Amino acid sequence: MEKLSVWTARALDNIKPAQTGAATPTVQFSTTATSLPKLTLPKFSGLQHEWDTFKALFTSMVKDAPTLTPTLKLQHLFACVEGDALRTIKSIEVTGDNFDVAWTALSRRYENKSVHPRSAKSSKPSNSNSSKFVSAHHTSNSDSSARRQPRCLLCSGEHRLGACADFNGYSIEQRWKFVREQGLCFNCLSKAHKGADCTSAFKCRTCQQTHHTKLHRGSTTQDSATSSNTDASSLSNSTSTHVATGAAVASHTSTNERATILGTAQVRAVNSRGEELLVRALIDPASEGSFVTEHVAQMLALPKKSTPLSVSGVGGQVSAKTKASVSMTLYSTNSFNASISLTAAVLPKVSTLLPKRAIDDTRWPHLKGLALADPHYDTPAPVDCLIGAELYPEIVKAGLRKGPIGSPMAYNSIFGWIVTGPTDIQRAHPDVIGSFKLTVVPMESISCELRKFWELEEMQLSPTLTPAEEQCEDYFHSTHRRDETGRFVVRLPLTNTPELPGSYVIAKQRFLSLERRLAKSPELGQQYNKFMQDYEDLHHMRKASPAQSNVKTAYIPHHAVVGKKLRVVFNASQEANNGKSLNDFLHVGGKLQSDISTIILRWRLGRYAFTADIVKMYRQIRIHDEDVPWQRILWRKNPEDPIQEYELLTVTYGTACAPYLALRVMHQLAIDKQAQHPIGSKILQENMYVDDALVSCDSEIEAIQARVDLTEILRSAGMELDKWAANYVTLLPVDSPSLHIRNFDKDTDVSTLGLRWTPRWIAPVVVRAKMLLQHLWLHGHDWDQLADAATTEAWLDYRRQLPELQALRIPRWMGTKINTPAMLHGFSDASERAYAAAIYLVGENSVHLIAAKSKVAPIRSVSLPRLELCGATLLARLLSKVVQDLKGPELSIRCWTDSQVVLAWLRAPPCTWKVFVANRVSEIHSLLPTASWGHVTSKENPADVASRGCPPGHIKNDLLWWHGPSWLLSSRTSPTTEGMEPSTELERRTERRCFATTKEDNIETVLDRFSSLNRLVRRVIGEAKLTFEEFITLTAQIEACLNSRPISPLSADSQDVAALTPGHFLIGTALLAAPEPATDERLVGVPRWKIATQMRNHFWRRWQREVLNHMQVRQKWNIRQPGLLPGELVLITDDLQPPQRWPLARVEQLHPGADGLTRKKSKKK
């Protein structure tokens, strides 16, 4: 870079500078005898390098022309500029007085010497020049800061009334009196209107009522806010601060009402073609990524790369999503050579104006005289770019300027001094907090989903509620009620008041499209009309009243889903014109539903079983009248009739909150009726899968009582049971229109919600598919790429056998009793491709598989014992969940593995092992504290079937998989474990290292592989070209340096200062060399022998220091070590010694200090 600067400076000396200023000749407009061609006025598009030429020509032809008026000069100026230059002066009116204003604006905008090549000879620009350069940028925003600040109505100060110290010193009643006397708005304290006409969205931050926070009277107003008619939108952080738009994210309340300056810099963004644009960048060390606005990307025509990312801020909420990223270079406006390369995600908007209001910087003298990166940091202006933490270390330089407490500081950077920190100025909006802590998360792709097949992590046993889920739960608890018929009335859990512009037009277009579809299929149209007519006849929807047309509403499209019967589905996920849907404003709620495997496991325990379905469960729950307008639809029976608006009065399937509201009502009903009907309440909480009840009991009487309790509880809430099925006719109600007797003990598949389930029973078959997917992943196959022949054949064979699973029969009842003690046996195993776990429940006369889980091995290399440990951990997690699901009976747990290494790990404390093993051993002990572990052979381990996979055609007849080893029923312990204790001693092996080769190697090959000579040549010689003689001489001299180092004293004589060296073993004496003068002169013209000498000296200086440091290395000691003694031989450090010279001396006398330690001594050379 220094050579380039010198070359540029010399080249510019040969360029004759253009004459400007006073030396510029003016154009004479007098008539001459010579006929000259007509001159054309120059054009200026805003490119920096064209400014000097344009300025010189325009000055001579127009600006200095005495015959032109200022108005004509300004008209010529407007005609000559275009692009960025025209935008700079576009807002200036064409009057005679404004020509000088426009010319000055262009001069201050484009007379930036730091970006001109001629600046290579000039010095660093001063702070004043930098200020002049950027002052013309963002003129519209700068002008906005010059607006008159509001004047206080109490003290006439330059602040709002709410920030007045005198006003804040008043009592609440005195403030109300002053507001009434002045005729101010109670909400925003403005004199321009009354409270009833106030359009401000802000409310009291304490009680959310329509008055200013400074006028809050305490509990009186707050009590009124607890009315049941409070708008549902208050659910979303009613006590939290407002969130600033853009990238600013906040979700907490702050009492700090002072403005804070965020660090910004004026930089030049340059694309690959050299085109540049002045932008304002925010320096954010709390952001994991960098961002740039779409405007900058378009202005510089930056090529975009597809990069889908999610951007989240404070609170973890996703605030933006990006689809592309761009690359550019940012240059400093204060330094010609300072730059960084930036890859940034593209966003429509990075932030709001920063700062929020104009700031007076004259009170901070510690910031005076600094070359600021953003001279206009105190003026509100847009942010075009955000520089994240990955580039923050490259930006920051040494230097920090701090002032008094409460004032901003400045830190030095490659862009100049960046100002940031607190101020004593009130924020423009005290209830808006800007936060730029951003997290960039790549959006999940198909690759991420596939990778979950072989991740080591497993299921979460007891997921905790998120803050949003807790908020939804609290809202339901405080707002639900029951009407006079006993039905539940609930509120929609809105996060905010929905804003869905254009939802009516979209719903109408979808409805017209639906009508055309129904017209093509008359039978489908009849079914659709019947469904909607039943909906209206049951009072589940009503026509919207004309008087309610001015209420805020949302219109939901609907369509038909045809299965066994037609079902109308309401699409609340349809986006409006702003990209939002009704579901975006609804809480989803927490998980209240047990897994289908858990429901079926409990259902298999009792001998007597029945199932039933709640009739139209969602539609038995009413929606509060205030929330009904958010569920409007469009409908008409005949295409000739006008389109009518209807309101859905019940919980609507298709809304995000519908499953939560329905299940939460079931739980609440169970809680309300627990005292009167304990059996039925337990069924509602533990044996319901959505609207299906699956109940089993040990006796017929218990089953009948369970049916009666369940029926009465649901009937009290206006719900009925239908689709009864049981394995005994006595369990069925006599008044139900749909009765079925099914032998559940032989009908092995379970039909729930129209689907058939065989949960966690065919893990050996499933793991085969997982192995195939992992195989395709490892070989880099894309989703649309043909697989190799072997993989294709394996998949076709697998697919051909899948229909054989339809013949699989699994008994419902496992021969157990619900409240009788039982025994669980768990087995784990691992292979190189997968690991698995299987659990068996031992009844009185039978053993049954109740749960199994398999996972493919991770991609990274993991040893087989560690995979066995992963299988044991998987078993512990699965057993813990099964024990939690069974709840009732007392259970004895026994675990088995065929790995003695795992047993040895489990028998020792976790702290004994390394992190990988210790973490999993600790987890197993915590999940199964009372379980005992034993050894089983691989032939008797049913988990071995799942870890290796089983073809679909063989799983049906595998007795080991379905019923475990035979000894589970005959005895409670494995006969193979008697007298077996795992050994924890490691096998002793002698380690030998050898070099394998297929042919005899010459000495050069051996040196290349095992010698450090090549490394020495690279470090010392580098790219120098030496002849053979010079190279041999240099290596001989370096060898002499190495062999001259002292090893030990040559004799015990205290008068002898000679040392034993490697040279004594070579030639019988120390190696010596005549001292030569060191030279640092340039190598041009120096004799060739000095080149080798200089290289030898360079090696000597570095190697001498490294050897001395190596000689003084001492390990950490816990006891006192012997020190030096008189007469010992010591080496004296002297960097000025020539090669092969090691100054030695003998210790004559020691001089201990006050603590008895020797730090000084006398020596004799």
pLDDT band of residue 218 (cuts 50, 70, 90) is low
671-698 residue pLDDT tens:
999 999 999 999 998 889 888 999 999 8
Measured CA to CA, the distance from residue 300 to residue 271 in angstroms comes to: 6
Average pLDDT over residues 280-299: 88
Residues 265/279, Cβ–Cβ less than 8 Å = no
- Residue carrying structure tokens 């961002």: 291
62-89 residue pLDDT tens:
888 888 888 888 888 888 888 878 877 8
1120-1148 residue pLDDT tens:
767 777 878 887 777 777 787 778 888 77
The answer to whether position 906 is within a domain reads yes
- Provide the domain limits for residue 844: 813-987
Residue 493 has pLDDT above 90, yes or no: yes
Report the 10 Å Cβ neighbour count for 64: 14
Measured CA to CA, the distance from residue 815 to residue 804 in angstroms comes to: 27
CB-side exposure of 252: number of CA atoms within 13 Å?
9
Amino acid identity at 920? R
What pLDDT was estimated at residue 378? 84
Strands 692-697 and 688-689: antiparallel
Q: Is 471 in the same domain as 600? A: yes
Measured CA to CA, the distance from residue 620 to residue 618 in angstroms comes to: 6
The answer to whether position 666 is within a domain reads yes
441-475 residue pLDDT tens:
554 444 555 555 545 444 555 567 788 888 899 99
pLDDT band of residue 643 (cuts 50, 70, 90) is very high
Report the 10 Å Cβ neighbour count for 620: 22
What does the buried/exposed string (b/e) look like for 626-641 if buried means 16 or more CB atoms within 10 Å of the residue's CB?
ebbbbbbbbbeeeeee
1041-1059 residue pLDDT tens:
888 888 888 777 767 777 8
Measured CA to CA, the distance from residue 812 to residue 599 in angstroms comes to: 12
What does the buried/exposed string (b/e) look like for 570-594 if buried means 16 or more CB atoms within 10 Å of the residue's CB?
bbbebebeeebbbbbbbbbbbeeeb
Q: Of 189-203, 265-279, 969-983, where does mean pLDDT reach its minimum?
A: 969-983
Q: Which residue has the higher pLDDT, 439 or 704?
A: 704
Q: Is 978 in the same domain as 850? A: yes
Residue 28 has pLDDT above 60, yes or no: no
Q: Is 1146 in the same domain as 1099? A: no
The answer to whether position 1011 is within a domain reads no
What pLDDT was estimated at residue 903? 92
Q: Is 196 in the same domain as 285? A: no
What pLDDT was estimated at residue 256? 47
By CB atoms closer than 10 A (0-12, 13-18, 19+), residue 375 is: buried
Residues 524/562, Cβ–Cβ less than 8 Å = yes
The answer to whether position 430 is within a domain reads no
The answer to whether position 312 is within a domain reads yes
- Closest C-alpha among 962, 957, 926, 764 to residue 854: 764
Residues 74/97, Cβ–Cβ less than 8 Å = no
305-326 residue pLDDT tens:
877 777 776 655 566 777 788 9
* Residue 380 belongs to domain with CATH number: 2.40.70.10
231-242 residue pLDDT tens:
333 333 333 333
Measured CA to CA, the distance from residue 176 to residue 1009 in angstroms comes to: 90
786-833 residue pLDDT tens:
888 888 898 899 899 888 888 888 888 888 888 788 889 999 999 998
146, two tokens: 């010059």
* E strand map for 395-442: 396-401, 409-413, 416-426, 432-433, 439-442
265-286 residue pLDDT tens:
999 898 888 888 899 999 988 8
Residue 437 has pLDDT above 50, yes or no: no
Residues 1075/1141, Cβ–Cβ less than 8 Å = yes
Residue 287 has pLDDT above 60, yes or no: yes
Report the 10 Å Cβ neighbour count for 791: 15
Q: Is 890 in the same domain as 929? A: yes
Q: Is 547 in the same domain as 646? A: yes
pLDDT band of residue 888 (cuts 50, 70, 90) is low
572-597 residue pLDDT tens:
999 998 888 999 999 998 888 888 88
Residue 747 has pLDDT above 60, yes or no: no
Q: Is 823 in the same domain as 950? A: yes
The answer to whether position 767 is within a domain reads no
Residues 442/308, Cβ–Cβ less than 8 Å = yes
* E strand map for 883-992: 891-897, 932-935
Instruction: Give the list of residues 6+ apart from residue 330 with CB closer than 8 angstroms, or none.
Output: 267, 268, 269, 270, 281, 339, 340, 341, 342, 385, 387
SS3 per residue for 1070-1130:
CCCCCCCCCCCCCCCCCCHHHHHHHHHHHHHHHHHHHHHHHHCCCCCCCCCCCCCCCCCEE
pLDDT band of residue 431 (cuts 50, 70, 90) is very low
Residues 559/571, Cβ–Cβ less than 8 Å = yes
Instruction: Give the list of residues 6+ apart from residue 107 with CB closer than 8 angstroms, or none.
Output: 55
Q: Of 396-410, 647-661, 1011-1025, where does mean pLDDT reach its minimum?
A: 1011-1025
Average pLDDT over residues 193-212: 70
Count of domains forming the chain: 7
Q: Which residue has the higher pLDDT, 79 or 1011?
A: 79
Residue 1114 has pLDDT above 70, yes or no: no
What pLDDT was estimated at residue 1074? 61
Which of 754, 775, 802 is a domain's end point?
Answer: 754
Residues 385/266, Cβ–Cβ less than 8 Å = no
The answer to whether position 84 is within a domain reads yes
What pLDDT was estimated at residue 969? 79
DSSP lists the bridge partners of residue 278 as: 268
Measured CA to CA, the distance from residue 1068 to residue 1061 in angstroms comes to: 10
Residue 27 has pLDDT above 50, yes or no: no
Q: Which residue has the higher pLDDT, 251 or 910?
A: 910
What pLDDT was estimated at residue 706? 92
Residue 115 has pLDDT above 50, yes or no: no
3-state secondary structure of 1131: strand
Q: Is 657 in the same domain as 534? A: yes
Q: Of 423-432, 870-879, 1057-1066, 1127-1136, where does mean pLDDT reach its minimum?
A: 423-432
The answer to whether position 760 is within a domain reads no
Q: Is 739 in the same domain as 880? A: no
What pLDDT was estimated at residue 19? 38
Q: Of 193-202, 331-340, 649-658, 836-845, where does mean pLDDT reach its minimum?
A: 193-202
Report the 10 Å Cβ neighbour count for 906: 22
Q: Is 858 in the same domain as 966? A: yes
What pLDDT was estimated at residue 232? 34
Residue 385 has pLDDT above 80, yes or no: yes
Average pLDDT over residues 947-970: 87
What is the average pLDDT score of the chain? 77
Residue 230 has pLDDT above 50, yes or no: no
pLDDT band of residue 996 (cuts 50, 70, 90) is low
What pLDDT was estimated at residue 91? 66
pLDDT band of residue 141 (cuts 50, 70, 90) is very low
587-630 residue pLDDT tens:
998 888 888 888 888 888 889 999 999 999 999 999 999 999 99
What pLDDT was estimated at residue 549? 55
- Closest C-alpha among 818, 815, 870 to residue 843: 815
The top-scoring range by mean pLDDT among 336-345, 743-752, 891-900 is 891-900
Average pLDDT over residues 1078-1100: 68
What pLDDT was estimated at residue 333? 85
Which of 180, 213, 246 is a domain's end point?
Answer: 213
Residue 1155 has pLDDT above 50, yes or no: yes
The top-scoring range by mean pLDDT among 47-61, 184-198, 837-851 is 837-851
Strands 264-270 and 276-283: antiparallel
386-422 residue pLDDT tens:
998 888 888 888 888 888 888 889 999 999 999 998 8
What pLDDT was estimated at residue 315? 55
* E strand map for 750-863: 750-752, 755-757, 822-830, 834-842, 847-856
Q: Is 276 in the same domain as 196? A: no
What pLDDT was estimated at residue 744? 58
What pLDDT was estimated at residue 319? 63
Q: What percent of the chain has pLDDT over 70?
A: 74
Q: Is 516 in the same domain as 655? A: yes
Report the 10 Å Cβ neighbour count for 234: 16
Amino acid identity at 972? R
Q: Which residue has the higher pLDDT, 928 or 228?
A: 928
What pLDDT was estimated at residue 979? 44
DSSP lists the bridge partners of residue 442 as: 309
Strands 891-897 and 822-830: parallel
